[in-house]
Amino acid sequence: MSVTPATMAQAARRTDARAAIRAPADPFAMVRRGLVYLLLSIAAFVSVFPFLWMVIGTTNSSADIIRGKASLGGEFFNNAVTFFTQVDALRVFWNSAFIAVVATALTLLISSLAGYGFEMFRSRVRERVFALLLLLLSIPFAALMVPLFVMFSQARLVNTYTAVILPTVASIFIIFYFRQATKAFPTELRDAAKIDGLKEWQIFLFVYMPVMRSTYAAATIIVFMANWNNYLWPLIVLQTAENKTITLIVSALTSAYTPDYGMILFGTVLATLPTLIIFFLLQRRFVEGMLGAVK
């Protein structure tokens, strides 16, 4: 059997058809369903509340925020103006976006290749290497910062995007994630593709990557978020204000002797938007992933 999107879609339809055969009505189903909604509603409220509070905060003055005012105010425009006059927003957004996008693309490619390689081609030596990587994953970054800085300063790369991006792109965490996810990748697909004469890199590119879409979607969110919010390393390696990321800039605003919280919350909401948008765009992938249907 050769694998094409069409056959996979067929398989998906088959499953849907089976799902349509409903079990006989359960008398407790309603109660259980009600409990699920209750649980999710509470969780959603608790999750959203601080975020909502932050958005409301952008419409209030600093003094009102400190007093704990929790209703909408009329300071939104003022806060925005203060933020944009004090921060070169376009510049710092560009810095953040460039770093996060390039780093995410590279991380997904390099780390998923490795995850695939570790799971599909098992050998004793590679298992040892993998175990070693897991061990390295646990070393706190603070311990590595000084030697890393030495390296980048000798390469004359201090204060560059390169210095921010390069150390993050081979992520043990994401390699580990892809390896675990690959365990669910049906080997029949790979065998079939091999019989069809596909080379290994073609299998990876044309079979593995499309099939693992939901895994890539989840990884994209995770990696983008990590890069967007990355703090300690960019802080150390980026020197001049015009190269700094929005995370660094907004964070420094809070340490003023007289912090303007309305303006700071405006900045944080703004800094949060990109990750949120990425999540909105990709979240449907989690429900539409087709892998399950093929098995």
Partner 1 sequence: MNRIVSRRGRLLGLALASVSFLSVAAASAGDVTVWAWDPNFNGATMKEAASRYTADHPDVNIIVDDSASQDDIRAKLQTQLLAGSTDGLPDIVLIQDDVAQKYLQSFPGAFEPLSDTIDMSVFADYKVAAATLDGKSYSLPFDSGVTGLFYRSDYLEEAGFSAKDLENITWDRLVEIGTEVKAATGHQLLDLDLNDAGLLRMMMQSAGTWYFNEDGSLNIVDNAPLKKALETYAKFYQADLVNPVSGWAEYTGSFTSGNTAVVPVGVWITGTIKANADQSGLWGVAPIPRLDIEGSVNASNQGGSSWYVLASSDNKAEAIDFLKTIWAEDVDFYQQILVDQGAVGSLLAAREGEAYQATDEFFGGAPVWQNFSTWLSQIPAVDYGIFTAEVDAAVQAQLPTIIEGGDIDAALEAINSQAQQQVQ
Partner 2 sequence: MADARLARREQITGWAFIAPALVLLGLFMLYPIVWSLWMSFQVGRGMNLSFGGFGNIQRLTQDVVFLRALGNTFTFFIIQVPIMIVLALLFAVALNDSTLRFRGLFRTAIFLPCVTSLIAYSTIFKSMFATDGIINQGLMAVNIIGAPIAWFSDPFWAKVVVILAITWRWTGYNMIFYLAALQNIDRSIYEAARIDGVPAWARFRYLTIPMLKPVILFTTVISTIGTLQLFDEVFNFTAGTGGPADSTLTLSLYIYNLTFKFMPSFGYSATVSWVIVILVAILSFLQFLIARDRRRPS
Rounded Cα distance between 133 and 41, Å, is: 40
123 sits near partner 1 (criterion: CB under 8 A)? no
Nearer to partner 1, 259 or 289 (CB): 259
Give the interface size with partner 2 as a residue count (CB under 8 A): 98
Q: How far is CA 23 from the centre of its chain?
A: 38
From candidates 132, 241, 276, 277, binder to partner 1 by CB under 8 A: 241
Site for partner 1 in 3-42 (CB under 8 A): none
Give the interface size with partner 1 as a residue count (CB under 8 A): 42
- Nearest in space to 262 (alpha carbons), one of 98, 13, 60, 52: 60
Rounded Cα distance between 174 and 207, Å, is: 20
User: Minimum CB separation from partner 2 for residue 228, in Å?
Assistant: 9
- Nearest in space to 189 (alpha carbons), one of 167, 162, 171, 209: 209
Q: Which does 161 bind (CB under 5 to 8 A by kind): partner 2, partner 1, none?
A: partner 1
Nearer to partner 1, 59 or 61 (CB): 61
- Measure Cα distances from 202 to 163, 207, 292 in Å: 32, 8, 22
Stretch that binds partner 2, among 72-80, 82-90, 97-105, 286-294 (CB under 8 A): 286-294
Site for partner 2 in 53-112 (CB under 8 A): 53-54, 65, 68, 70, 110-111
- Dihedral (C-alpha) 239, 243, 245, 250: value to the nearest 10 degrees? 70
255 sits near partner 1 (criterion: CB under 8 A)? yes
Stretch that binds partner 1, among 31-39, 63-71, 117-125, 128-136 (CB under 8 A): 63-71
185: number of Cβ within 10 Å:
21
Rounded Cα distance between 86 and 239, Å, is: 18
Nearer to partner 1, 132 or 155 (CB): 155
Nearer to partner 1, 102 or 192 (CB): 102
Segment (H or E) for 165: helix 161-169
Nearer to partner 1, 214 or 251 (CB): 251
- Measure Cα distances from 224 to 99, 111, 227 in Å: 9, 14, 5
Site for partner 2 in 203-262 (CB under 8 A): 204, 214-215, 217-218, 221-222, 225, 229, 231, 247, 250-251, 254, 261
- Measure Cα distances from 240 to 152, 235, 243 in Å: 16, 10, 6
Nearer to partner 1, 113 or 236 (CB): 236
From candidates 9, 30, 72, 134, binder to partner 2 by CB under 8 A: 134
Q: Which does 4 bind (CB under 5 to 8 A by kind): partner 2, partner 1, none?
A: none
What one-character DSSP code corresponds to residue 230? -
CB 234 within 8 A of CB 247: yes
Place of tokens 């925020």: 65
Residues of this chain that bind partner 1 (CB under 8 A): 63, 66-67, 86, 145-147, 149-162, 166, 232, 235-237, 239-241, 243-244, 248-249, 251-252, 254-259, 261
